[in-house]
Amino acid sequence: MVELSIPMAVAVAFGLACAGTRVLVGVLTRRAVLDRPNERSSHAVPVPRGGGIAVVAALAVAWLCLALVDAPADLLPWLVPLAAASALAAVSFADDLRGLGAGLRLAVQALAVAAGLWALDGRGALAAVAPAWIDLPLTALGWVWFLNLYNFMDGIDGITGTETVSIGVGLAALAFAGLAPPAIAGPALVLAAAAAGFLVWNWHPARIFLGDVGSVPLGYLLGLLLVILAGSGPVGLAAALLLPLVYLVDATVTLARRVLRGESPARAHREHVYQRAVIAGASHASVSLRIAAANACLLSLALFMAPLAPLAALAIGGGVVAALFLALRPAPVPSTPGRA
């Protein structure tokens, strides 16, 4: 039964997410839960927002079934994060509908991360290389930042579904290769499958958007698995940085630039590398596919180079991300001869 549990859970996650998202397209449209275009949007017509409801529900059902089959005596480490992710989804959907204060959102996120670290027995991303008084605060800060950047980066059709599939498959590949704790393989593939089911309806031109109700819980649960991977040792730490490196660099550098200019980090904008590429004329699909290609390169580094030279793998990974950003950089507008 255990051998069949992962394929069955993956099929359940994909099927429920795909079917549930299709239902939500109609329900959210009728209830006018729409993302309406504005000066900071990357779409031109109103699109229903809230597809993450189906994604979170699908992965919760499949993840719980997986835990019941594979580890029925040790459910707590999976139940607590699922409950925390559900709470994040509820708060984030309220934010999608009417907007909530940043303080409330951050408070709920901090509680969810604290619950996740408790479920991990107080072992964070640096557990193998640093004492708890360093490990836990840094892991908590990094985890909160990761789930927020996952939300910030969800700005064009297909991008976060593509990123979730990439990271989920990457985590499972590392586990199957013996480079990550085996227990994360199933949950990682369930996350990837639920995201793939959503992508059927979110690929450009998207019929529905994920919304904060999806991007925040996905960032939280992927963050959980990345913390487990990072805490396994130096190789795991390098791999945990490599897999989401595109999102990490784009979001962090963009935020730093805005803060240095004195702008509010919470204010909506269109300054991410992927957004500037779309503004310059690249299609949503081409940008997402280029990110997927870069993610494949990063996974290869995590699988084949990180076990031999973790720091070198990270350095080359930085080069991969830099090359992606150069490829996405808008082409310069040629000057017209005879005009200043």
Whole-number pLDDT of residue 264:
72
**Biggest distance spanned by C-alpha atoms of the chain:** 78
Strand partners for 49:
209
Report pLDDT digits (tens) over 82-132.
999 999 999 999 998 988 888 999 999 999 999 999 999 999 999 999 999
Question: Beta 34-35 vs 47-48: how paired, if at all?
Answer: antiparallel
3-state secondary structure of 200: helix
3-state secondary structure of 209: strand
* Sequence ranges of the domains in the chain: 2-328
CA pair distance 96, 267, nearest whole angstrom: 15
| Nearest residue to 313 via CA among 300, 322, 326 | 300
Instruction: Give the chain's radius of gyration (CA, Å).
Output: 20
Whole-number pLDDT of residue 118:
95
Neighbouring C-beta atoms of residue 276, cutoff 10 Å: 16
3-state secondary structure of 257: helix
Neighbouring C-beta atoms of residue 69, cutoff 10 Å: 16
CA pair distance 74, 67, nearest whole angstrom: 8
- Contact between 59 and 190 under an 8 Å Cβ cutoff? The reply is yes
- pTM for this predicted structure: 0.94
CA pair distance 229, 236, nearest whole angstrom: 5
Residue linked to tokens 């809230």: 50
For 269, the token pair is: 């904008």
Whole-number pLDDT of residue 271:
83
Q: What is the mean pLDDT of each run of 10 residues along the chain (340 residues)?
A: 73 97 96 78 79 96 84 72 96 90 94 96 93 96 96 92 98 97 94 97 94 96 97 96 97 89 76 89 94 98 97 98 92 45
For 205, the token pair is: 């031109």
